[in-house]
Each structure stands twice: as C-alpha cells, then as structure tokens.
Amino acid sequence: MSVAFRRESDEEHLEPKFELPIPAGPNLVTRAGQQLIEERIAELEARLAATDAGDKEAVDPLRRDLRYWQTRRATAAVTPAPADGSAGFGAMVTIRLTGKQRVIAIVGDDEADPRGDRIAFSAPLARALFGAEPGDLLPFNGRDDAIEVIAVAAIDEG
C-alpha cells in the first residue's frame, strides 16, 4: 500500500471538539440563575481537581464546560422583574393557553427548563407575554386570543 493512504495518527479520524455555544443576546439572569452559575463552576472545579491531569479525555471536556460557565458568570446581568407589575424577565405569569392554566416563569437561558414551565426570555411564548397584564388576551401561534393572562408576580427568590 502506498504511503499516501496511511493515516498520520490515530487521532486523525476523531471528531473535532468545539466550544459550547454561547446563546446570542444579553445574559440576563435572576438571582437564582446567578447562584446556579456559581454552583456549576464550583462543581466543575471540584471535578477537575479530582481528575488526573494526565487524563486528557476526562480533563478537556471539564475545562471546556468550565470556560463556558466562567464566561456566563462574567457576562451575567442580574435583572429584576418589571417594577410596573407587567410580564417580563423575572416574572411568574399565570396564563390560560389552549384551555389549560399554566404558571410560566420567565428566566435566563441557562436556568430555563421548559418541562418545569421555566422558559427563557428569548422563547416565543416569553416574547408574546412581555408587557402583558392580568386580563389581557394575547395573540400566539396564529390565534388572536390564544393566551389569557390571569396573574403576574415577581419570581420569589427568597
């Protein structure tokens, strides 16, 4: 076989490792979101300290994740709920959507958990709710009165 068809090394066929993508836009966080970032950094630093520095396969992903969370900490802007009582970042909004009542928390990208009704402020539903007050009927998903706003309160972070 010709030398031209041989691999230089076994690492040549491996997929490249990329940095974790940073969400576009500002890094708005609630106080709980800021605490989440601090906890993730502490956890990653502890795991890194407990990992053999020579184990590149274990260390590299931990360092990549740590860089992500350190960047998120450096860019975090703790943002309170709107003072006027309308729906916005940092608010708990009770709505009726498609006949079902839900309580939605509008939070930062890193603290979002759609299954737990904690949605990122950049999500379409959150954007539809911005500025809404109790009693408002809002358009969403092609329907003019898809969302009924029942109540708005600041997220209680203790």
pLDDT digit string, tens, across residues 70-105: 999 999 999 999 999 999 999 999 999 988 999 999
d(CA 42, CA 73): 12
Instruction: Provide the token pair at 113.
Output: 């958990």
Which pLDDT score, from 0 to 100, does residue 158 have? 44
Average pLDDT in the 145-157 region? 89
Distance CA 106, CA 155 (A): 9
Mean pLDDT of the chain: 89
The whole-number pLDDT of residue 12 equals 58
- Give the tens place of pLDDT for each residue, 46-57: 999 998 888 888
User: Could you give the dihedral angle defined by the CA atoms of residues 94, 96, 97 and 103, in that order, rounded to the nearest 10 degrees?
Assistant: 20
